[in-house]
Amino acid sequence: MSVDALSDFELGDVLGVGTVGTIYIATEIATGEQVALKKLHPAVSQDPTIRARFEREMLILSRLRHPNIIAYYGGGDDNGTLFYAMELVRGGTVKDLLESRGAFAWPVVVELARQICSALQYAHNHGVIHRDLKPGNLFLTREGEVKLGDFGIARDLRNADLTSTGMTVGTHAYMAPEQITGDASISGKADLYALGCCLYEMLVGRKMFNGENFAQLFEQHLRTPPPHARESVPDCPVELDEVINELLAKRPEDRPFNARKVQAVMLQLDETYHTHDLAAQAGSDVAGSDVAADGVASRGRQILVEQIRNRSDGPPERTVSWSRLAILGALILAGIAIASALSK
């Protein structure tokens, strides 16, 4: 796909709204192909720092071609409006699935971790640190593929950092200690810490730390020992529990060497545990699955696909805008007032 101008696309429903941009479902007029299109908000489009970060995001995505990273199709400046088109992923996010299903069976976590590690290792090999790895940025296809997205605050080691030294960036619940302190020498180990936070949440069904505000969360990330997943999920394999705990080490040097090392643990789990062991060890999602699989990863993928499709095929959520709620509220109040007047 060649992306030249916004006018090449017809914008549809809004997929998401962020602090600096809006993402739409868009259709390329010439081909009818649907994409996700991110457009910078007009209110911030003249801010040089925000424009530079948006352009950096496009540059980073243009370098990253990997099956577990959202595909970039192109973008640019259309009459002062920065935009870019990317792959449209239709299975929701890991966050959506957690909110609708709760904790995942551990084979699902192993399969998700395997794919996420592949994306992280590729990004790190190309000098990119994501810095905002979280369930909401892990997109899912209906075939159970993970797509890492939203590189809006990613660090590009090949270019000057746009974040001032000592400045904190990221999502509080998933930030490594060195991110919180604004360490200038931040590395891919920060993404590994966030991965540990994500895997814990997937297994247990809740975030690792639950501070009431960012100050409490920062204190917990900096000083509170991380809990073990096996304390809440007894059927979690020891090997999986241990690697998650290593990922959550306070010091970067105490974490696994790289994402590939973590992926190796997932592959080893696939070889060590077999399908006939899972029904006895894992939860109902595993035991009740009506599909056959030989190992942990394939069984995890099949369970994941079932859950994604069940969620996607369910009844659509009804949304009501604030304006409609306001009108409805006004009508109710008016009715009460009329009834009160007539009763006097």
Task: Give catalytic residues, as residue numbers.
Answer: 132
Let me know: does 56 contact 63? Beta carbons within 8 Å. no
C-alpha 121/C-alpha 160 separation (Å) is 21
Copy the structure tokens of residue 45.
Answer: 């489009």
Cβ pair 73, 64 in contact under 8 A: no
Cβ atoms of residues 263 and 121 within 8 Å: yes
Q: Evaluate whether 60 touches 154 at the Cβ level (below 8 Å).
A: yes
Please list the residues that pair with 148 across neighbouring strands: 69, 138
In our burial notation (b when 16+ CB lie closer than 10 A, e otherwise), range 41-56 reads beeebeeeebbebbbb
**Contact status, residue 81 vs residue 124, Cβ threshold 8 Å:** no
Single out the residue of 128, 124, 209 nearest to residue 161, CA to CA.
Answer: 128
Is 306 exposed, middle or buried (CB count within 10 Å of its CB: 0-12, 13-18, 19+)? middle
The label of the residue with tokens 């976590």 reads 109
* Residue 319 CA to its chain's centroid (Å): 23
Cβ-based neighbours of 134, under 8 Å, separated by 6 or more: 95, 171, 173, 174, 194, 197, 198
